[in-house]
Amino acid sequence: MSQSNSVGLIDLQIMWNRLIAVVEEQAQTLMRTAFSPIVRECGDLSAGVFDLQGRMLAQAVTGTPGHVNSMAESVKHFLRYFPVETMKPGDAYITNDPWMGTGHLNDFVITTPCFRNGKLVALFSCTSHLMDIGGIGFGPDATDVFMEGLYIPMLKLFDQGKANETLMAMIRANTRQPVDTEGDVYSLAACNDVGARRLVEMMDEFGIDSLDGLGDHVIARSREAVLAEIAKLPKGTWHNSMTVDGYDEPVTLKAALTISDTGIHVDFSGTTGVSRRGINVPHAYTTAYTVFGLGCVVSTHIPNNAGSLEPLTVSAPEGCILNAPKPTAVASRHVIGQMLPDVTFGCLRQVVPERVPAEGTSCLWNINVRGRLKGGEGGNYGFGMAITSNGGTGARADKDGLSATAYPSGVRGTPVEIAETQTPLIFWRKEFRPDSGGAGRTRGGLGQIMEIESGIGEPFDLLAAFDRIDYPARGRDGGGDGEAGVVALKSGQPLKGKGFQLIPPGERLMVLTPGGAGIGAPKERDRTQVANDLADGLITSETAEKVYEFKPPQAAE
């Protein structure tokens, strides 16, 4: 290889890294300007840069796989409606179509063309979750997508810098939180503009007029790297199934994972059919979380882009809960969709068990609340918030699971201080749930105990969308199951895991999130680790003695 070619490759690698930095600044702009707490405090967003063919070249590290990997497909839909030859500086396009966006109406996707010296050079796209877009509200009770809120088709949000005031008026008129919702729309548009400015600066610095060569390099190298990792795996087909709570009846998720020379394919034939409620999953979201699970095991250190995603493919029969057709209800598609890495791991643990964790809580345990405010403060009609929380992740072969951690979504838990600032609720408790992690040689992560009450003597709505109550995470190789989740009133009345329910004034809502499962026989756990867990209050003395067969030194004397 000549010196000039070597320098060229180095420059390409530097520019690739700069692309990732550009989209990270794009994401940080969105997070810092968003009105929705789930975005600015928890990072429930995605951001990326795309070439003119709609191929994702780089994604921000900040963000969630459900948004990023489904947004990667949404840009191609934008290009069908708005061909590149029709785009002009100052344009921006918007949709929240679940089947062309990121899976439900609460996620707005905005795509913006980037021009340099009058020439279109790239597309920036971003997504974030908006707390209220009208309809029945952010919960699983609707029976079709039209009940779930405002449905925005592929529309032009900005036309050469001029906002679509008719569309903005429609958005404001169809939400209980018009101030927050309008602010979030402008936040999305602003972050794309920042990304575009930084890209133009990068192209000026490196003296390039097009991203074609860089894009081809990024995609080809990423594809080759993933295929090289796949080549190290045995070839064949492996099967797994997992049952979860569902809405009013259990849902069984079945997967057949095939490893070949050309990639990895996951087929979900045999999975339960669509639900009559809003836990159905559009295919793009199914694909997003399935390939994320595959990537976590097979290609952990390879950047996420169109090239690294290409060898990982997914199919699901039309009409099953993982390929729900329009107009099925999909608002809580995350409840089922975020289980898919666990389902995929069940296949992969038959291939590379040392790389694969046990089952975890997986689906977010968001405490979706809504209610009235006295005096109508803030320009909104009451309050609404998704207080993000989660249970434990599954144990790993050589490490314990993570406690109160949202895997695979990646969002951060909402700080109590923020929840109490944004809503009139009081958190009386928020602490680890002892013994909730499945026992084992390596222990599952712990869930949480939360105790919540209205601070203004008013009732509030719980828009429940929880799982792992009837079917907790399953242990592996002799490890214990994670503890099941619980939703109830402190007075003792149990609540449903899914559906709208009223929390009366003076009552306290109790939410006990599930634990992750363990790996290996508990008696094989290192005695020092058991002692530490006991001292830290992560397990009780009864569990230490009966499950781990451990007696503290003073008890043995």
Strands 312-315 and 263-267: parallel
Residue 379 confidence (pLDDT): 75
Q: List Cβ neighbours of 496 (8 Å cut-off, separation of 6 or more).
A: 464, 487
Residue 253 confidence (pLDDT): 98
What value, to the nearest 5°, has the Cα angle with vertex 331 and ends 329 and 332? 110
Q: List Cβ neighbours of 413 (8 Å cut-off, separation of 6 or more).
A: 42, 388, 389, 390, 404, 406
What's the pLDDT tens digit per position in 325-360? 999 999 999 999 999 999 999 999 999 999 999 999
Per-chain mean pLDDT for the chain = 95
Would you list the DSSP string of 417-467? HHHHHHSSEEEEEEEE-TT-SPPSSBPPPP-EEEEEEESSS--EEEEEE--
> Which helix (DSSP H) or strand (DSSP E) does residue 229 occupy?
helix 212-231
Dist CA 215 CA 221 (whole Å): 10
Q: Nearest Cα to 97, choosing from 54, 178, 155?
A: 155
Q: Nearest Cα to 335, choosing from 294, 364, 312, 357?
A: 364
Dist CA 380 CA 373 (whole Å): 9
Dist CA 548 CA 550 (whole Å): 5
Q: What residues of the chain score a pLDDT lower than 50?
A: 1-7, 556-557
At position 502, the amino acid (one-letter code) is: L
Helices (H), 306-459: 306-309, 333-337, 340-348, 416-422
Residue 68 confidence (pLDDT): 79
Q: Identify the three-state secondary structure at position 182.
A: helix
Residue 70 confidence (pLDDT): 83
End-to-end CA separation in angstroms for the chain? 72
At position 147, the amino acid (one-letter code) is: M
Q: Do the Cβ atoms of 251 and 280 come closer than 8 Å?
A: no
Count the neighbouring beta carbons within 10 Å of the beta carbon of residue 521.
Answer: 16
Residue 5 confidence (pLDDT): 41
* DSSP category for residue 360: -
What's the pLDDT tens digit per position in 309-334? 999 999 999 999 999 999 999 999 99
Q: Nearest Cα to 63, choosing from 125, 148, 156?
A: 125
What value, to the nearest 5°, has the Cα angle with vertex 68 and ends 99 and 9? 130
Q: Do the Cβ atoms of 45 and 76 come closer than 8 Å?
A: no
Dist CA 433 CA 497 (whole Å): 18
Q: Nearest Cα to 389, choosing from 365, 425, 415?
A: 365
